[in-house]
Structure formats: C-alpha cells, structure tokens
C-alpha cells in the first residue's frame, strides 16, 4: 500500500515535469531563428468578433520559402485584425497585405540580434529548469508527509527520493538538449 502511494507521487511528478519540458519547447518555438516557421505566430492572440482567439484557429499558415510565412485567413474580413495583432507583437516584422493573404518576410538576423535571442532562449530554459525543481520540491513534500503519516518507511523514502532525483536530472537534461539545439539553430548563418 505504502509503495503504491509513493509510486503515484512519482508518476504525478513525472507527468508534470514532462509538461514543463513540453512548455519550454513551445516557448523555444516562439523565438524566431533565421527562417520562417508557423510556430512563431500560430499561438498569437487575435481579436476577432470581440473575442481573443489563436491565429491558427482563424487562418491557414504556410511557409512557401525559407524566409517567407504566408497567413491565409479563412474569412477575408479578419485580415485587418490579424495584421494589427502581428504589428502589435514582438516579432519586429511588418506584414504585407494584398487583400487575400498576409505575407511576412523574415530578414536575415544580425549577429547582435542572434546573441540577444540566445540570451532569451537561455532565460526560457532556466525558467523550465526552475519549474522542474519546484515540482521535485512539491513531490518531496508529499513523500515526507507520507512518511510522517506512517504510510512510508524512511528507507522507502530514501529510495523514492533517489528515483525522484534521477527523474529530475533526466528532465533537466532534456531541457539542456532542447537549449543546445535551439542555440545551434540561432547561431547558424
């Protein structure tokens, strides 16, 4: 019985840590590299018909060439709202609207801008690591509470905490791997 409770705590921690890694990966997708990707704008909030919705829900996104992103609204009357949202975003790109689609031309990044983006990505990675450590701390508190309640022996607690530490190191390593890949992508010319 006591082993089951500790397994539930560790399984819950694993699930939450995987979500933290996934969230960090999504954050990385929003940082622009030298090439166009739909991930830069698909989660952008657009005010349409008085409601805020994600861009991917109101428009098709395509990348016809490496430095061009084309946004094709499903309803042409939403073009102005989409264009306004892009201009208000931190992309730093002026959209070109031809009445049917919006084109975003991505200029090559300067070396200085690349270095700034690497700092941004490192900060996002650190936020992900901190989230994982906080989840580890919360799981430890739960395990210690189980020990206090007599549901877990001190030997079992030590064993489960070692497993939890190993899990934490795996998840931090996953974030570090994502970070290394994104840094390489940003610094590639």
38-105 matches 2-29+110-187 in CATH topology? no
Show me where the domains of the chain are located: 2-29+110-187, 38-105
Supply the CATH classification number for the domain 38-105: 3.30.1360.40
Contact 17, 9 (CB under 8 A): no
Contact 35, 66 (CB under 8 A): yes
Contact 73, 82 (CB under 8 A): yes
- Block means of pLDDT (10 residues each) for the chain, length 189 residues? 76 94 86 73 83 88 86 88 84 82 84 85 94 95 89 87 94 94 82
* Fold (CATH) for 2-29+110-187: Topoisomerase I; Chain A, domain 4 (1.10.132)
């Amino acid at each position: 019985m006591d082993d089951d409770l500790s397994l539930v705590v560790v399984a819950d921690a694993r699930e939450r840590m995987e979500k933290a890694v996934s969230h960090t990966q999504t954050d990385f997708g929003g940082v622009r590299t030298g090439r166009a990707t739909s991930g830069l704008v698909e989660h952008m909030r657009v005010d349409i018909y008085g409601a805020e919705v994600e861009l991917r829900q109101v428009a098709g996104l395509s990348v016809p060439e490496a430095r061009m992103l084309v946004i094709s609204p499903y309803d042409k009357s939403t073009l102005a709202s989409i264009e306004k949202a892009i201009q208000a975003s931190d992309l730093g790109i002026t959209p070109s609207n031809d009445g049917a689609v919006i084109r975003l031309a991505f200029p090559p990044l300067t070396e200085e801008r690349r270095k700034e983006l690497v700092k941004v990505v490192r900060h996002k990675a650190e936020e992900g690591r901190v989230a994982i450590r906080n989840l580890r701390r919360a799981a430890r508190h739960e395990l210690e509470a189980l020990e206090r309640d007599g549901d877990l022996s001190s030997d079992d607690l030590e064993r489960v905490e070692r497993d939890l530490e190993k899990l934490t190191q795996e998840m931090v390593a996953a974030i570090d791997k994502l970070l290394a890949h994104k840094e390489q992508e940003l610094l590639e010319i």
